[in-house]
Amino acid sequence: GGSTAVPLTGIGTQAAQATVALSVASIDFGRAFVGQISSVRRVTLSNTGDVPLAVEGASWPTTHFRASSNSCVAAVVLAPSQSCSVDLFFAPQIATPISADFEITHNGVGSISRVALSGVGVVLPAGTKLMVEYVIPSLNYFFMTSRADEQALLDGVATFSRTGAAFPVYSGADAGRASMTRYFFPEAAKSASRGTHFYTLLDAEKSLLANVNPTNTYAAAKPFNEGLDSYALLPLVEGKGGSCAQGLAPVYRVFRGAQRFPDDANHRFTIDRAVYEAFVAAGWDDEGVRFCVPAP
């Protein structure tokens, strides 16, 4: 009883791995005040290969960067050409440059896909609070508030998003400061389906609005005085080509007026000159410098 040796032939093959691509390699969120939430930036992971990609999750090692939504969670399987995404924002808790790697782990080539995140936390000047800008993307409608209770409310409303823009305003009265009043025009746009807000610390504008609605009645398209919002300083020179005293940042006001944007009224306020110039170039009315705030 002998045995017969059977030769084994062939070459072993390794299971194919999916290849992946990230939409960005790095994100610089720029400067943000401690307590501010920046605008959202999206990271997309795509399966660029020919076999399924198993996602194992996304992570980041610091609470200074956070996610508002995440579809790159464990157990997600991406077929070829499919993708998942994570919406990230910067929320500095200390005043210092901050950096971290955002990672998505998977079973594809490389195992870990990384995005370098960076930003600079900036401390608020003493005696100030943040004026924060929001947008309703579906309406392209901008709104700002320095009221902490409103900010907390809007941060929990899915239809509102922070644009990432914010600037400090004074929280109390003092010599030379003027009170900033907020007005709301109900049913003033989009076939009376939405209103619009307006801020001013100019006495002439306050008087004009009071004359339009002397009893401060809440009525369609009438300026309703919603009271004091915060304090700021008057510019040295108001309007187009305006300026502020040294150490202060000019706040520019632009208006989406009826002449170019019928039935879509909206004011926007910004300390970012590039944003101001871009909106003027897009057809918004140039109302120039309207008030001054502590420079970031």
Q: Which residue has the tokens 């025009």?
A: 185
Q: Which residue has the tokens 């790697």?
A: 101
User: How far is 286 from 291, CA to CA, in rounded Å?
Assistant: 14
Beta carbons within 8 Å of 150's beta carbon, 6+ residues apart: none
Which pLDDT score is estimated for 16?
84
| Beta bridge partners of residue 32, listed in sequence order | 121
Please choose, from the candidates 174, 210, 173, 170, the residue with its C-alpha nearest in 3D space to the C-alpha of residue 291.
Answer: 170
Do residues 249 and 296 touch, judged by C-beta distance below 8 A?
yes
Residues in the chain: 296
pLDDT in tens, 200-211: 999 999 999 999
What are the angstrom distances between the C-alpha of 250 and each of 202, 255, 262, 292? 15, 16, 28, 5
DSSP letter at 295 equals: -
| Beta bridge partners of residue 88, listed in sequence order | 41, 67
Instruction: Tell me the two tokens of residue 99.
Output: 């950096």
- DSSP strand pairing (112-122 vs 26-33): parallel
Beta carbons within 8 Å of 171's beta carbon, 6+ residues apart: 127, 128, 129, 146, 230, 231
Which pLDDT score is estimated for 82?
98
Please choose, from the candidates 173, 121, 163, 171, the residue with its C-alpha nearest in 3D space to the C-alpha of residue 147.
Answer: 171
> What are the helix (H) ranges across the chain?
148-154, 203-212, 273-281
Which pLDDT score is estimated for 15?
66
Do residues 58 and 74 touch, judged by C-beta distance below 8 A?
no
Q: Which residue has the tokens 């746009």?
A: 189
Positions of the chain with pLDDT under 70: 1-15
DSSP letter at 16 equals: P
Alpha-carbon torsion (225, 178, 234, 154), positive or negative? negative
Identity of residue 248: L
CA angle 233, 222, 172 (to 5 degrees): 25
CB-side neighbour CA atoms (13 Å) of 6: 1
